[in-house]
Amino acid sequence: MGLFDDDFYSTKVSRRARSTSSRDEFAFSNKKGIRSWSNVQVAFVASFTSAAAVLLLFVLVFGGGGLDIGSSAASVSASGSNSLEQRTIQASAKVRPAVVSVINEQTVPYGLLPDTGKSDGQAEGGTAEEGQLSGSKQEVGVGSGVIYKLKDGKAYIITNNHVIAGAESVKVMLVNGEKREARIVGSDQITDLAVLEMDGKDIKTVAQIGQSSKLQPAEFVLAIGNPLGLGDSLSMGIVSKTHRVVPVSLNEDGVYDWQQEVIQVNVSINEGNSGGPLIDMDGKVVGINSMKIAEVGVEGLGFAIPIDNAMPVIDSLMDKGYVSRPYLGVYTVDLEQYFAQKNMDGQAAAGDGTTEQGQGATPGGEATDLPELNLPDEVFEGVIVLEAVGPAQEAGIKLNDVIVKLDDKSISSTMELRQYLYEEKHIGDEIKVTYYRGGKLKTASFKLAEKTKDE
């Protein structure tokens, strides 16, 4: 039995029905004064009348509100172009020509060249001497960037600070494979942002800057960049959390000394994606891809710097080459680390007089390299001054002083010291530093200076 194989949908008419219909038509057509209508005409009039009645009833009940047949038809016909697939294609097409690969070049010692199996000296037809520099620059890292501005014949690129850190020269590869020399306009370690400048000849596409504040959880986003050196690569996912604060180690020594506000996404962010754009479905940049959690068993944890946070930094880098911040003038280490190291040294000395590496304690069991701070027993938190320069030095702060307060804010770590300075204070503000020296509590008050590029 077919889908419509029943009496209701049957197009067959029985012989009895046909004969009855013929008699009716004959009788109707012979009535005096009445025009003969065919069945088709009668059906058409009935249908039109019914439709008019329905329309009139709709207008009476709903007042005609929202009745726009033309716009409804247009929306239906355009529905195909509003699909997620089409929006993804259109969004990426807007930005891809503006995404570049950023190549960090540095002079490397003699050794095996990548993919050659030969030493630098052998590759150049000479001989390599141990420890001597080859004098040629090699590609030591590749990241991503996005062209966001064209001005006076120059193209300006946003990328990460860690992508160009230590670079002696920087090259940029366009989406068509062309390489160009680039200049570092400015960089900022704290926010992990940098700006590059290159020749803007034939550059037609500039990425549009969006608003990260408008992002919502579960919203679709795209990451564009150069993962693992593959170039011009797209990955897609959703916003997992619009505002996440993660601790970072600015010196990459494993000690967290800053907190970064980021957008958390489940988009694939791999080595080489750093510095590339995170875009929304309108093709606008809402973040700069920066980092991921790279641990065994961890997947789908990528992070991007919100573009709303990035643009003031980018503007400062364009204007000055660095980010203007209040400057205290101390290099510090957390007191917690001091106690942890002292405890390790004490345990090693209590064993056989040496540490596991053979350093850190003398044969007599006394710890080396760690100064005696003579702090009161109740003091466990603060930061130790390793070096004082600028305003702090002029105010009399010295090596091994232990800072425990800035103004009335207790300071337990370098992270908290930076946060208080950068978030609560301004250049030229007066600040009171409370610290211990030789077990005695002291204070010093002075004005914060401006942190320059060199500092």
Q: Does domain 94-110+132-199 have CATH number 3.40.50.800?
A: no
Short-list 433, 453, 425, 437, CA closest to 392 = 433
- Positions of the chain with pLDDT under 70: 1-81, 110-135, 228-230, 292-300, 346-368, 453-455
The confidence score (pLDDT) of residue 158 equals 98
Query: Which is catalytic among the residues 212, 235, 274, 413?
Result: 274
Query: Which is catalytic among the residues 101, 120, 134, 162?
Result: 162
Domain with CATH 2.40.10.10 in the chain: 94-110+132-199, 212-324
Place of tokens 């007191």: 335
Q: Is the pTM of this model over 0.75?
A: no
Q: Does domain 327-451 have CATH number 2.30.42.10?
A: yes
The confidence score (pLDDT) of residue 111 equals 57
The confidence score (pLDDT) of residue 47 equals 59
Look up 162 and say whether it is catalytic: yes
Half-sphere exposure of 351 (CA within 13 A, CB side): 12
The confidence score (pLDDT) of residue 453 equals 65
The confidence score (pLDDT) of residue 202 equals 94
Query: Which is catalytic among the residues 120, 188, 192, 334?
Result: 192
Place of tokens 């065919």: 38
Look up 274 and say whether it is catalytic: yes
| Rounded distance between C-alpha atoms, residue 221 and residue 307, angstroms | 14
Kindly give the residue spans of alpha helices, DSSP state H, lying in 159-306: 161-164
- Under CATH, domain 212-324 is a member of which superfamily? Trypsin-like serine proteases (2.40.10.10)
The confidence score (pLDDT) of residue 108 equals 80
Q: Which secondary-structure segment (H or E) carries 157?
A: strand 154-159
How many other CB atoms are found less than 10 A from the CB of residue 48? 10
The confidence score (pLDDT) of residue 271 equals 78
Assign residue 310 a region (left: φ > 0; alpha: ψ between -120 and 50; beta: otherwise).
Answer: alpha
